[in-house]
Structure formats: C-alpha cells, structure tokens
Amino acid sequence: MTDAGHLERELADPIPDLPLPDLSAAASAAGLLDIAYAKLDSPLGALLLARTARGLLRVAYLDSSDEDEVLARLAARVSPRILAAPRDLDQPRRELEEYFAGRRSSFELPIDWRLTRGFSRRVLEATALIPYGSVSTYRNVAGEAGSPRASRAAGNALGSNPMPIVVPCHRVLHTGGGLGGYTGGLERKRLLLAIESGQQTLA
C-alpha cells in the first residue's frame, strides 16, 4: 500500500533542472543542419557568426543588423536549415578573441563565399589578401579585381561585405588617405586600424 505522506512529498519536490540536449549535433549527423550560428560578445559589440560545411559564411554587427533579419536572409539565400550551434563556431570565436587581444594577425578560417559573386567577390578576395597592419585603396582593390576604374563599385562591394573583420574591408581607404565608409561605422574602422598598428588592444 502506498504511503500517502511519502507520495505528497514526492509530488511537492521540484523537478530538477536538466540540461537541454544538444540538438545541433544530432541535426548535423542527420544531415539536417546546413548553417550553424552563434553570437560573440566582442569589444566592438555583439557579433553573429554563421558557418556552413564549406566555412565561415557571415559575420554581422548586431547593432546595425537585427538577428532575426540576418537569419532570415541566410535562410532565403542559402538554406532554411539553420540552428544555433555555438560549438561549431568555437574556432571563429577563438580566433576573433585572439585578434582583438592583439595576439593574432591572420585568420586561419575556411571561407564560404557563396553570398558574393562576380566583381564583388573578386574585390573581397583581393581585400582578403591585404596584410595585417597594411592598407590599400578602393582604386587598388578595383584594379586587383580586374576593373581599375571601378572604385565606386569596389566601395559598394566592400560596403556589403558579409564577413567584416575576417575579410578586412577596414583596411581599404580613399586614395587621399580618407577613411571612406565601413559597414560597422567609422569608429569601428578607426579602432580596427588602431589595433593593427599596435596603438590599441580591445580585449
């Protein structure tokens, strides 16, 4: 016969908080995860990082882009099979933290370029080759991309760079030395250039 008092005590005890299962690993194993994403609280503000099996796909400043909007665009342009999977972004997060602390001068991340195409992709590929601590100009990267007179189009390509910081569009300036534009705002561009010149660390 059941002890009524014991049963009442069992029912009154709170259900223990159990860790949520890691759905990302199961989804990936089942071929149901195309885009993994995670957020990083960086010295420049919150960043959203996304990757595919090919490599890093997106770096977004979340104060200038809404998280849901970024994810919706990725779903529309690449795949709707998106899931938060912080472990899958361990390497990009670690390398960015090292960069902000001044301990890393290059990224060793595979890149998924599928959000870019044509001239824009060539501009970004040329920009990815600009060494740490160096700068180039819109005219120069346009030339490297095959259209030396297309400085304005090069600027537009850099303004829509899907992977700022990692693809270092902050290293591209006007021919006269002016900062030009930057997707994360000019203050961030100044800070990134200051890190790379050894004038400042952000971590």
Task: State CA 177 to chain mean position distance.
Answer: 27
Choosing from 169, 172, 191, 195, the catalytic residue is: 169
169 is catalytic: yes
Half-sphere exposure (Cβ direction) of 14: Cα atoms closer than 13 Å: 3
- Cα distances (angstroms) measured from residue 171 to each of 7, 122, 200: 68, 16, 16
- Cα distances (angstroms) measured from residue 173 to each of 20, 60, 73, 193: 47, 21, 29, 11
Q: What is the largest CA-CA distance in the chain?
A: 90
User: Whole-angstrom Cα distance, residue 121 to residue 9?
Assistant: 65
Cβ count near 18 (within 10 Å) = 6
User: Whole-angstrom Cα distance, residue 121 to residue 154?
Assistant: 10
Q: Which helix (H) or strand (E) holds 193?
A: helix 186-196
- Active site residues per annotation: 169
